[in-house]
Amino acid sequence: MSGSVRVGNTIDGKYQVIEALGKGGMANVWLARDERLGKLWAIKEVKPNTGGAQKEAMRQAILDEANFMKCLDHPAIPRVVDIHDTGAEVFVVMDYVDGTELGALMREQGHPFEQESVIDWGIQLCDVLAYLHRRNPPVVYRDMKPSNVILRDDGTIRLIDFGIALECEPSRKADGRVVGTPGYAPPEQIPSPSSGERLRLPSEDAGIDERADVYALGATLYSLVTGHVPRLVADELGGSSVQFCMRPIREWNPQLSEGLERILTRATQADRSLRYASMEEMRYDLMHYREMTQEWRDAQRRKITRFRRRAAAAVCTALAGCACLLCGAALRQSNFRAFVREAHAASATAPDDGISDAERACMEAIATSPASIEPYARLLEVYEDDFRLSDAEDVRWRKALSHAEGLEKNDGYAQLCFDAGIAYLSYYGLDQAGGSVGNVAVASIDAAAPWFDRAVEACGESSGHGRQRIDDADVQAAKAYGVVASFYKTVTRAGQEGRGASEAYRAFWDAISRSLETQNNVPDARKCAEGVRVRLCQVAVEALSSNTYLAGFSRAGVTREQAESLLASARRCAEGLRDFSQASEYQQVFGPVFEEITAGIKTAEQTIQNVYANPVLALEAQEGEL
């Protein structure tokens, strides 16, 4: 497609433009719907406003950024799923992130953010930047600032705009460009020459490394928690410069934490050797910022002093001391068991997506013994009580797991991860209006995938599953569900990288066929939860009712007989779920989903007829078999 894009236009024959998300001199961003999948995407339309060699260089830079982002795989980084280059303009199709830039949000509200929120965002940003820094070669983001961070309604953040990210290969230094946003970028990235001093480009020194992102993140958090941002100031010669007065944060607001002040001061040191050496180190301090105050340190000193004074007496009362320790451990264990009992006895019902008494008891038990499996398992049951796993519950679940140091060493960890994957697969994305065969099913399996992967990873390659207490059937199921969950991403990425997608299609087909067949044939006592079987039916019906997907399966060697066999399995599975979907307690949630599955089965019958009657696809399938 060429020319100006307008609402209602179709890009690349499949993306229908719904509305404008943002417009600029060189680029426009549109919200579009994939007419084949029904999924919403953000499409960045870039039209270089220069000519000749400069236009070609700019176009290539756009393509380089898009191709670079295709290789990234992190929840906080929007995926690039398609690139359409018309020659006149470039369209980059990426995840649609429904949220607000932190910079715009702060301007709109007219005051800085709460300290706890800023620290939480800082921890999330440390995670995504550490992911970039751990890549081979390491990637330095170089453009951290509030306007490049999107805050979603669920409290999670997304990092956008990778136009100046730099891959730091050992054999080369920085690219020599003075890039970044003055005020947020560190001195070695955008040097400020003093009087009589020549400007040194980054490529003239040791190059840019991960500590540039440490500085920029510190400056970003400083702005968010104080409300003070870099400002453009005119000088006496008619020019201008950027000023960012980063006084200690408690001079702006005495109520802010001394620990956070220490963290931001260290992160924004002009001498990078004095900054945090890694994002992991900065993240640890943000997680423990309360322990970095002088008051806390003085308390520790007082404890040490009291300990030394009592050391002599403790020698004489060693047995009593041991008894006290044992009593203390027994008391903690007693408290833990009390919280667990309360978690099982308390109500799991909470109005308006609030926190139930059972969930509070689970959180108390987790705080008492964070490496114990039982309260996490009960917490999953609480979230599943209403047959929905909401976005708010998803956030609270992940936060609970983020503090669970040592949990992965527990022999029940693999089973917990498998159960979490089942919960997401069964209940995530369902609202009061029910689900759909399209977006909701994809969202649920995409959210479930990391938990199945963790379950398989915890078991390792040994036949004994690494001493994890988990049935072999669950491990095999996790592997199968993992294949199903990653199918859409795998197929999209294969197309982007110029590889054939047949292997991904075939793996998906084998996994979903095997899973449905197993569920149909095992005794009722061994079947998966009904919600999981509903999801399996959804995915199978979507695969069979979509001309695009079924054509891909045909090219991968799936025969008409196999397609009809899978449809028969899906129909049999759906028939076995009919009573479940019509039961009064499940009707509101699963009834609409089941109706769409039933309608999809009828559509699939015609789709199979259409696809396998296509002579071109039949020839391609034969060539694929050869």
Whether 311 is covered by a domain: the verdict is no
CATH code at 271? 1.10.510.10
- Do 542 and 450 share a structural domain? yes
For the chain, what is the domain count? 4
Task: Give the domain-ending residue among 53, 75, 95.
Answer: 95
Q: Do the domain assignments include residue 535?
A: yes
157-159: strand order across its sheet: 99-101, 149-152, 157-159
In a domain, 2, yes or no: no
User: What is the pLDDT at residue 355?
Assistant: 86
451 and 485 part of one domain: yes
Distance, CA of 599 to CA of 605 (rounded, Å): 10
Contact 413, 458 (CB under 8 A): yes
Domain that holds residue 58: 10-95
Mean pLDDT (the chain, rounded): 78
- For residues 452 and 484, membership in a common domain is answered with yes
In a domain, 161, yes or no: yes
Q: What is the DSSP code string of 301-320?
A: HHHHHHHHHHHHHHHHTHHH
Q: For the residues 523-540, what does the mean pLDDT come to? A: 76
Top-confidence residue, 488 or 572: 572
Identify the weakest region by mean pLDDT among 274-283, 334-343, 546-555, 580-589: 580-589
For 74-88, 231-245, 272-286, which range has the lowest pLDDT when averaged over its residues?
A: 231-245
Contact yes or no for 488/446 (Cβ under 8 A):
yes
532 with 587, same domain: the answer is yes
In terms of domains, do 83 and 114 share one?
Answer: no
Say what the pTM is: 0.49
Residues 488 and 569 grouped into a single domain: yes
Please indicate whether residue 118 or residue 326 has the higher confidence score (pLDDT).
118
Count CB-CB contacts under 10 A for residue 270: 10
Q: Are residues 47 and 161 in the same domain?
A: no
Asked whether residue 5 is assigned to any structural domain, the reply reads: no
Q: Are residues 282 and 348 in the same domain?
A: no
Average pLDDT of the residues in 375-394: 85
Residues 360 and 480 in one domain: no
CB-based contact 595:541 (threshold 8 Å): no
Q: Is 39 left (phi over 0), alpha (psi -120 to 50) or beta?
A: beta
The values of phi and psi at residue 37, to 5°, are -100, -15
CATH of the domain at 71: 3.30.200.20
Is residue 241 situated within a structural domain? yes
